[in-house]
Amino acid sequence: MKYKRILLKLSGEALMGEKQYGIDPKILSEYADEIKQIHDKGVEIAIVIGGGNIFRGVAGASSGMDRVQGDYMGMLATVINGMALQGALEDKGMLTRLQTALKIEAIAEPYIKRRAVRHLEKGRIVIFGAGTGNPYFTTDTAAVLRGVEVHADVILKGTRVDGVYTADPEKDKSAVKFDYISFEDVLKKGLNVMDTTAFTLSQENKLPIVVFDMNKKGNLLKICEGENVGTVVNI
């Protein structure tokens, strides 16, 4: 396998499937199947999942809610998604641990870096919930931060788009996909890969990012086996 330890970043919105909000059990089960394929090959897996299918702090703030309050609500949404994903993974026989940046001892371990690494070494899938535990930071930033802390080889950003394009492919049919692009070129061209804080953190720590379509079966396994899937962002 090309990567021994990965940080998989999943979108909360993707869990909605065809619904308007919430969690589609069918999507959860499909994601669990994809993750099991690489888990069975010995890849060590850490996961950060967004909360946009339940609540977004930025959206709350735009309609008059206090931004800090909204962001904490968003963090709790990521914990709900983490619990749902944990259940789906364990239903398929995988051992998991949910660690949260906010203390919620009844349902999750507090995030402790050494403990998280030990879980990964033992073959457990570690899900990181509640973002960084701080308002004004996205789950993209949480993903890169945790990836750096646990010494992941790569950030795999699973989205509904199959890579990074010159423009939004859903709006511009002439958009061209990159197979490989440098951090520097992403910034020069003003492309939207992750939010600026997350992207800069990844660049400074030389942690590559692969943007790919998580909803296409087999993509996750192909990436871990070294196939050219999605877009690789690297130094």
Please indicate if the annotation marks 135 as binding a ligand. yes
User: How far is Cα 115 from Cα 166, in angstroms, rounded to an integer?
Assistant: 40
Task: Tell whether 165 is in a known binding site.
Answer: yes
109-110 and 164-165 strand pairing:
unpaired
Task: Name the amino acid, one letter, at 131.
Answer: G
Residue bearing tokens 């619904």:
19
190 known member of a binding site: no
In this structure, how many other beta carbons lie within 10 angstroms of the beta carbon of residue 167? Answer: 14
User: Is 205 flagged in the annotation as binding?
Assistant: no
Check whether 103 is labelled as a binding-site residue.
Answer: no
Token reading at 57 = 């702090």
**168 appears as a binding residue in the annotation:** yes
Helix, coil or strand: residue 176: coil
Query: Annotation-wise, does 110 bind a ligand?
Result: no
Query: Is position 56 annotated in a ligand binding site?
Result: yes
Q: Is 120 annotated as a binding residue?
A: no
- The verdict on whether residue 133 carries a ligand-binding annotation is yes
97 is known to lie in a ligand binding site: no
- Residues 4/64, Cβ–Cβ less than 8 Å: no
51 is in an annotated binding site: yes
Nearest Cα residue to 51 out of 26, 33, 71, 35: 71
Annotated ligand binding at 55? The verdict is no
Q: Check whether 66 is labelled as a binding-site residue.
A: no
| 196-204 vs 139-149: helix crossing angle, rounded to 10 | 20
Question: Token pair for residue 171?
Answer: 């709006």
Residue 159 assigned to a binding site: yes
CA 11 to chain centre: 6
Query: Is 93 annotated for ligand binding?
Result: no
Q: Is 72 annotated as a binding residue?
A: no
Residue positions forming the annotated binding site for ATP: 9-12, 52, 56, 159, 165, 168
Binding-site annotation, residues for UMP: 51, 71, 132-139
Binding residues: 9-12, 51-52, 56, 71, 132-139, 159, 165, 168
